[in-house]
Amino acid sequence: MTDYDLIIIGAGIHGAAVARAASYDGYTVCVLEQYPQAALATSCHSSKLIHGGLRYLESFQFSLVRDCLQERKILLNTAPHLVKLVPFYIPVYKHNTRPGWLIFIGLCLYRLLGGGEFRKLPESEWNQLDGLNKNDLQSVYQYYDGQTNDQELTRALLDDAILQGTVFKANNKVSGIKIQNNSIIVQTENTNDISSKLLINASGPWVNDVLQKTSPATSALEIDLVQGTHIIIPRTIRQGIYYIEAGDKRVIFVTPWKQYCLIGTTETPFNESPENCKPLKQEIDYLLSSWNQNFNDELCRNDILEAFSGLRVLPASSKNAFNRSRDTILHNKDNIVSIYGGKLTAHRATADSVMKIIHKKLPGHSHIDTSALSF
């Protein structure tokens, strides 16, 4: 049986980030992934943004926005080949629930929290905005945020971890976890049992499924899974990313993606096994309708090139998903640290919080500040 300091379940953005931080700190690490490659589930199905989350100001999540903007700054410095600042445009229509003055106040606060400068576009520049519908358009605001390729970012982190000594085992779905004395024995479907001193459960929407495989049983948190769907359409967006209000008053992004356009996302309650996550007809219609309301080029279902869905992990609540906290929760029990939720932008900070727990449980290793490490 092979022994490691840490076994990490899940090679998504958080599993990769923890593996990188732990390997730099000198721990022996093994990452187990159920799929053939890293970042084939939630971590390739995001909106591809590295941002503070302007909309989170509506639910008063100021610390989350500030922290994410700080992480955005770090990533722009350490991974400039993967994270770029791009212009965002917020069109304000007569029928929108968020008037121009409210958008202005929000952007002022965003700037104070580290979001950078913004401006109100003069009407003379509206014709440059990728066919944006100008009927009842009252104002357009421009600010800057980050864009990335989420899959490439995740794999770059994992590759750096492997260079530092992390062992990566793909096609290894966990079948059982034994908590035995001071060690944890992990059974998988394709390899011999392996053991570690600590287990990091970074399995995203499978977080509680993994915990159900422990023996003896360990505790888990109550969660809701919320599906987010995106569509890709054969249109070219040249000016930047559009932050538009949908028919139900939520906001969605219209984003240039490779040579096409990415539109998303939705927030649909999900009650099945995570591997059954797939775009729903009503979600696709919702995104098409949002495009058609805001742009002059009307689309139909036959225009869609691709649709994909990912799952958010949120604390169980009766609140609308749009207004719920997006803070990451670390659940530490029986030498298993489970990561609940988390944002693509804040992966490094989440890993740093996990490392603080690891250092307390497995002292004797120096800490390397990953905020200064390029990759």
What is the residue type of 127?
A: N
- Judging by DSSP bridges, how do beta strands 2-9 and 194-201 pair with one another? parallel
Strand partners, 132: 295
pTM over 0.85: yes
CA pair distance 199, 68, nearest whole angstrom: 26
| Residue 284 neighbours by CB distance under 10 Å | 18
SS3 for the chain, per residue? CEEEEEEEECCCHHHHHHHHHHHHCCCCEEEECCCCCCCCCHHHCCCCEECCCHHHHHHCCHHHHHHHHHHHHHHHHHCCCCEEEEEEEEEEECCCCCCHHHHHHHHHHHHHHHHCCEEECCHHHHHHCCCECCCCEEEEEEEEEEEECHHHHHHHHHHHHHHCCCEEECCCCEEEEEEECCEEEEEECCCCCEEEEEEEECCHHHHHHHHCCEECCCCCCCEEEEEEEEEEECCCCCCCEEEEECCCCCEEEEEEECCEEEEECCCEEECCCHHHCCCCHHHHHHHHHHHHHHECCCCCHHHCCEEEEEEEEEECCCCCHHHCCCCCEEEEECCEEEEECCCCCCHHHHHHHHHHHHHHHCCCCCCCCHHHCCC
Give the pLDDT of residue 2: 65
Residues 6 or more apart in contact with residue 325 via CB below 8 angstroms: 59, 61, 64, 314, 315
CA distance 372 to 186: 33
Nearest to 145 by CA among 58, 76, 66, 87: 87
What is the pLDDT at residue 327?
A: 87
3-state SS record for 116-169: CCEEECCHHHHHHCCCECCCCEEEEEEEEEEEECHHHHHHHHHHHHHHCCCEEE
> What string of pLDDT tens digits covers the 375 residues of the chain?
569 999 999 999 999 999 999 999 999 999 999 999 999 999 999 999 999 999 999 999 999 999 999 999 999 999 999 999 999 999 999 999 999 999 999 999 999 999 999 999 999 999 999 999 999 999 999 999 999 999 999 999 999 999 999 999 999 999 999 999 889 999 998 878 999 999 999 999 999 999 999 999 999 999 999 999 999 999 999 999 999 999 899 999 999 999 999 999 999 999 999 999 999 999 999 999 999 999 999 999 999 999 999 999 999 877 776 666 778 999 999 999 999 999 999 999 999 999 999 999 999 999 999 999 999
In our burial notation (b when 16+ CB lie closer than 10 A, e otherwise), range 200-216 reads: bbbbbbbbbebbebbee
Q: What angle do CA 333, 334, 337 make, to 5 degrees?
A: 50
| Residue-range domains of the chain with CATH | 2-43+151-222+325-372 (3.50.50.60), 53-147 (no CATH), 223-315 (3.30.9.10)
Q: What is the pLDDT of residue 322?
A: 65
Confidence at residue 171, expressed as pLDDT on a 0 to 100 scale: 96
CA distance 273 to 225: 10
Amino acid at 249: K
Query: What is residue 58's predicted lDDT score, i.e. its pLDDT?
Result: 93
Q: What is the CA radius of gyration of the chain?
A: 21
